[in-house]
Amino acid sequence: MNLQRFFNPRSIAVVGVSDNERKVGHLVAKNMLKQGYPDNLFFVHPSGKNMLGKETYTSLKEISKPIDLVVLAIPASIAVPYLDEVASVGCRNVVMFAAGFGETHTAEGKGLEKQLRDKLAEHEITLLGPNCIGYINANKGINATFFNHVAPKGNISIISQSGALGSAFLDYVAAKTYIGLSHFISLGNKSALDESDCLEYLINDSATKVIGMYLEDVKDGDRFRRTLRQATQKKPVVVLKSGRTTEGSKAAMSHTGSMAGDDAIFEAAIRQGGALRAESYAEFEMILKLYSLDAVPTNRNILVLSNAGGMGVLLADELISQGLNLVTVSEETSLKLAKAFEDTKKISVHNPIDLLGDASAFDYKKAINLTMQEKDIGAIVVLLTPQANTEILETAQVLQQVYRSFKYKPLYPVFMGKDSVSEAHTYLEKEGIASFRYFAQLPAALSKIIAADEAAHAPFLEISPPDYSLPLQFHKHDIQLLFVEQGNTSTFLNQYDSLSLLSWAGIDVAKTYLAVSQEDLDTVVKEEGFPLVAKIASSKITHKTEVKGVITGITVMEELQQAFHTLSSVGSKDSGCYLQKMYKGHELIVGSKKDTTFGTVVLIGLGGVYAELLKETIELVYPFSYEQFRLALHNSKLQRLTKEFRNIPPIDAQKLYDVGMRVGQIVDTLEQVQEIDINPLIASGNTMIAVDGRIILQQK
């Protein structure tokens, strides 16, 4: 969809202009004038009388010039039929503010929404809204919103499902923060234009350097993820999403189903798209500011310089706990630093560098000039507290000079306090330096920026590569038969069939024997030896360990016989039991499920009895590249298992990726499959054996 004309119209008509200062029709008209839309702005109102000092037309038809965009500031009931008039003058782009549609959850509202959609289809109209606040394209002088402010021009674009967020953000940038807006787009009900459409448009908007999105839901998960990926190849995208704590209420039948909540999946999609998720509105604002000012760390190595030792250590704590590194100052620089101060005082030359409470602007200058030359520093945070003789503004000026002379190498002044540091803060912001009053949220922001950059550069998979194509016979015959055999009453495949399916998909499974006699026991021991595991063979019992359905560590025949009798009597009569060789390794859980928004998702986590308690898992939207998997693994405690742990050889990440992709592929390919759990997958080195599997079928 090409929205170039929609967001860059050569002419705009505002319909429903009003003299009443509290009316939307007045506010929009005023904003358009104040924002400075150059020419071809037309006001429409049936009265035809001049408003806001400008000629007003009684109808669109009266306007002689072609109209690129119509902004409808009229109530829902008249706005919908008015689309006929819009179409009649040849305009196809509309912004509609009116509420009272589907969002009311009333029969009336839903009826109106249906009428609206019909009209849009009939006239091929592109609509923003309804129930929205409109949009701003500040650099083009367009402010088709009923906000309180003219938007300062800048390079931040925001797409928001909340108008209120826009009003708070606009209030923030309007307050002499020296950052500004390119676009603000209020999505409203998304009856036509949605988040992906607008995101796609902003990718090629040259005035936009960073994109912020506030979302409550996503219309088309797959498209959103792909569009996000396209966008993040060109510019950063910061997403703020509500609903972090509200999990899907649908009862899950597998561990995967219950552990891979809606929000974790959304987060996976964001991450794979190379975007960054802000945790709060405050963080959203801070990160947009950092990107807008190009204040982006080049790596995780951070240096701290301060005139307050304790504060420096507090900041260091925060940096480390956010996964950043306190860079070690090179010996050369340490010596130079010590030398530079030897005549006056003994400073701490280790990171955090403490220039002591009496640090002058010149002290800061000496120290920062030396440390800026260090090669592997990703950013420098300069802490200042207003002490007795602190040269606050002079220090700010020093920082500005250094920042320029070192070609904008990232530098974050954190001048703490309030009134004393206020002037310096304003000065720094005016000079385009991202300056802060507290460091509390900065380390998290920097860490997320670096992680998003890594994610955006990891290869992205749109389709599953050939390695993971299910074998042909899998499709055509056996599996179909398997499903048919289950009949309509079964909700899942029994363990034997589940493992067979996993095996056909190329996953190593523990050979499972159904033993019903002593002869069978002898055969298994002959083929597999000891130790063995015996499992109940009833298809009715799923969480096996909860019904004492598994006996592990069987090492001799007598014990095997005992296990056989115990389990056979618990299970269906004469059903016998399953036998498998017992494997040694880490107990992992690998699962997949169909998500209504994002399609197939894969979960990999620590298994065992405490799996659901500890939720040490990673989620990925299928398909995913090996690098994306590696990044997700890296941020989880599972990473530790890729080194030797408790006498088990390091697990092979490539092999684990392979298992995850194959499990995902089954769910993605077979419409009959809703969820899969392999629990546990016994992993040791590059040997990964599914010893128990459960395949949940799609319920009709």
Beta carbons of 352 and 320 less than 8 angstroms apart:
no
Q: Is 309 in the site for a copy of itself (CB under 8 A)?
A: yes
Mask: binding to a copy of itself, 513-552, rule CB under 8 A, as x and -? --------------------------------xxxx--xx
Query: How many secondary structure helices (H) and strands (E) does the chain include?
Result: 24, 29
- Part in contact with a copy of itself (CB under 8 A); list of ranges 267-275, 397-405, 434-442, 466-474: 434-442
Q: Which of 29, 71, 240, 398 binds a copy of itself (CB under 8 A)?
A: 240
Number of residues that bind a copy of itself (CB under 8 A): 91
Assess contact for 324 and 402: CB atoms under 8 A: no
Say whether residue 556 binds a copy of itself (CB under 8 A): yes
24 part of the interface to a copy of itself, by CB under 8 A: yes
> How many other CB atoms sit within 10 Å of the CB of residue 518?
12
Tokens of 80: 């919908």
CB within 8 A of 250, min separation 6: which ones? Answer: none
- Of 249, 248, 257, 263, nearest to 677 (Cα)? 257
- Name residues contacting a copy of itself, limited to 602-621 (CB under 8 A): 606, 608-610, 613-614, 616
Pairing of strands 41-44, 56-57: parallel
Selected from 4, 47, 77, 280, the binder of a copy of itself by CB under 8 A is 280
| Rounded Cα–Cα distance for residues 247 and 228 (Å) | 23
Considering only 94, 308, 337, 651, the residue that binds a copy of itself (CB under 8 A) is 308
User: How long a stretch of residues is the chain?
Assistant: 700
- Applying CB under 8 A, among 562, 625, 686, 698 the residue interacting with a copy of itself is 562
Burial (0-12, 13-18, 19+ Cβ within 10 Å), 505 = buried
x-or-dash pattern for a copy of itself, window 91-130, by CB under 8 A?
A: -------------x--------------------------
Could you say which of 17, 76, 532, 563 contacts a copy of itself (CB under 8 A)? 563
CB hemisphere CA count around 645 (13 angstroms): 16
Residue 22 interacting with a copy of itself (CB under 8 A): yes
338 binds a copy of itself (CB under 8 A): no
CB of 83 vs a copy of itself, minimal distance in Å: 24
- Least Å from the CB of residue 122 to a copy of itself: 30
Q: Is 175 in the site for a copy of itself (CB under 8 A)?
A: yes
Does 148 bind a copy of itself (CB under 8 A)? Our answer is yes
Judged by CB under 8 A, which of 387, 490, 625, 698 binds a copy of itself? 387
Q: Which of 38, 53, 64, 388 binds a copy of itself (CB under 8 A)?
A: 388
Q: How far is CA 130 from CA 97, 119, 160, 427, in A?
A: 5, 13, 13, 42
Nearer to a copy of itself, 73 or 120 (CB): 73
Options 82-90, 361-369, 411-419, 474-482: segment touching a copy of itself (CB under 8 A): 411-419
The backbone region for 548, taken as left when phi is positive above 0, alpha when psi lies in -120 to 50, beta otherwise, is: left
* Residue 253 makes contact with a copy of itself by CB under 8 A: no
> Which amino acid is present at 185?
I
Binding residue for a copy of itself (CB under 8 A) from 146, 184, 474, 598?
146
Does 416 participate in binding a copy of itself (rule CB under 8 A)? yes
Cβ-based burial of 235 (10 A; exposed 0-12, middle 13-18, buried ≥19):
middle
Q: Which stretch binds a copy of itself (CB under 8 A): 63-71, 84-92, 114-122, 141-149?
A: 141-149
645 contributes a contact to a copy of itself by CB under 8 A? yes
Rg of the Cα trace of the chain?
Answer: 31
The full 3-state SS of 476-525, as one line of letters, equals HHHHHHHHHHHCCCCCEECHHHHHHHHHHCCCCECCCEEECCHHHHHHHH
Identity of the residue, 88 or 321, whose beta carbon is nearer to a copy of itself in the bound complex: 321
Choose between 5 and 565: whose C-beta lies nearer to a copy of itself: 565
267 binds a copy of itself (CB under 8 A): no
Which position among 180, 357, 432, 650 is part of the footprint of a copy of itself (CB under 8 A)?
Answer: 357
Give the range of 49-57, 160-168, 479-487, 588-596 binding a copy of itself by CB under 8 A: 160-168
What's the rounded Cα separation, in Å, for the pair 676 and 253? Answer: 10
Phi first, then psi, for residue 213 (nearest 5°) are -130, 130
Is residue 282 part of the contact set for a copy of itself (CB under 8 A)? yes
Amino acid at 401: Q
Work out how close the CB of 648 gets to a copy of itself at its nearest, in angstroms, rounded to a whole number: 9
What are the residue ranges of helices labelled H in 345-412?
361-372, 392-405
When asked if residue 317 is in the footprint of a copy of itself (CB under 8 A), the reply is yes
> How far is it, in rounded angstroms, from Cα 446 to Cα 259?
29
Q: Least distance (Å) from a copy of itself to the CB of residue 386?
A: 5
